[in-house]
Amino acid sequence: MSAVRTYLDHNATSPLRPEAREEMMRALDVSGNASSVHAEGRTARALIEAARTKIAALAGAAPRDVVFTSGATEAANWVMAQPWQVVLVSAVEHAAVMAPALRCGARVEIIPVDGAGRVDPEGLGELIDAVCGDGGVSVAGAVLVAVQHANNESGVVQPIAKIAEIARERGVRLIVDAVQAAGRVALDQRGQGIDFMVLSSHKIGGPQGAGALVIGNEASIDPMLVGGGQERSLRAGTENVAAIAGFGAAAAASERDLARSAHLARLRDTLERDLKRATPELIVIGGAADRLCNTTLVARPGARAETVVIGLDLAGVGASAGAACSSGKINRSPVLAAMGIGEEIGKCAVRFSLGWTTTEDDIAQCVSAWERVNKTRSGARAMA
């Protein structure tokens, strides 16, 4: 295995930022409980509230609307556990949203997507109208729409502003998984009137095990945990001050790095161009749509994703299969199936996701590794 690693899997976990590490170390030296009124407790509380302000700025939200959780999965499950009558969930949602939606006990409707994985806002409006008119569903507080801001596999960005407008006009609630979009596109939770926004620390260079649910001014939610007054009495329990502090530092750095989006997009485009030059038959999935600046999902027909990913890993490049991985087995991606991509191409999907550590040298090393892996594979096939 190569001694020098090239890490291009930021959509899975982005390496811990120096700013986050520094803030966490500072927080670990604080001995107080954030609920205590003495000086040590007030110091811990100040770290939490400073982080809340930074995360709110990244989300385009008010600080008081940010509630800390253990991660995005917890936040999504919390929202889905509310007493909805109907949940409409896009066909390309992350499993952290889709799985609890399917188990929430409400009537579930799948929102279709086009070949690029995008939701049609007008079609969504028609679906909401049909659902609310079918069976006499009472709209107020009873219907939830779930549409992610950007897809974790393809990077395709949804027209969230229009979707939020459609939801508001019809009086239904909207949850937006903004995990992949945070720090890569500007978020505007309050301006767009998004009822619930889900965020994750480790996707933006913060520590693992921290996340947030942003709750809109007009939305309400039953407490997740009771027994204490923490987090506006919505999630009881002593806060993980160090993780929250690191999350806040990563959020501030990610907001600053929004200015680098064009640079990351150029690196992504260079990667796609050079991969295609090396393997002309390459397919860039979702390439014609509006995508995150850092994400590319490619497939070389006939080259199974797990084989390519293992080969890249041995060559010193960390990437991932486009399909979800469970217990070491690569399964067909529901996202690609919803986009109408055939199973044979879907099994070949490999995702590269760039981030704050990515350099031009990383792109060159990735392309070199790709060429070696595909050359080896072609040679082995010729000998077979």
Task: Give me the active site residues, please.
Answer: 325
Angle formed by the axes of helices 160-170 and 121-133, nearest 10°: 20
Beta strands in 260-383 (DSSP E): 283-284, 295-299, 317-318, 320-321, 325-326, 329-330, 349-353
Taking residue 115's Cβ as centre, other Cβ atoms within 10 Å add up to 13
Q: Which residue has the tokens 């188990």?
A: 103
Tell me the C-alpha distance between 65 and 43, whole Å: 21
Q: Which residue has the tokens 């939701």?
A: 119
Contact 180, 11 (CB under 8 A): yes
Classify strands 107-111 and 283-284 as parallel, antiparallel or unpaired: unpaired
Which of 343, 117, 302 lies closest to 333, judged by CA?
Answer: 343
Which of 277, 362, 331 lies closest to 10, judged by CA?
Answer: 362
Tell me the C-alpha distance between 66 and 49, whole Å: 10
Contact 194, 176 (CB under 8 A): yes
Contact 303, 281 (CB under 8 A): no
Whole-number Cα distances in Å, 6 to 183, 194, 370? 21, 37, 12
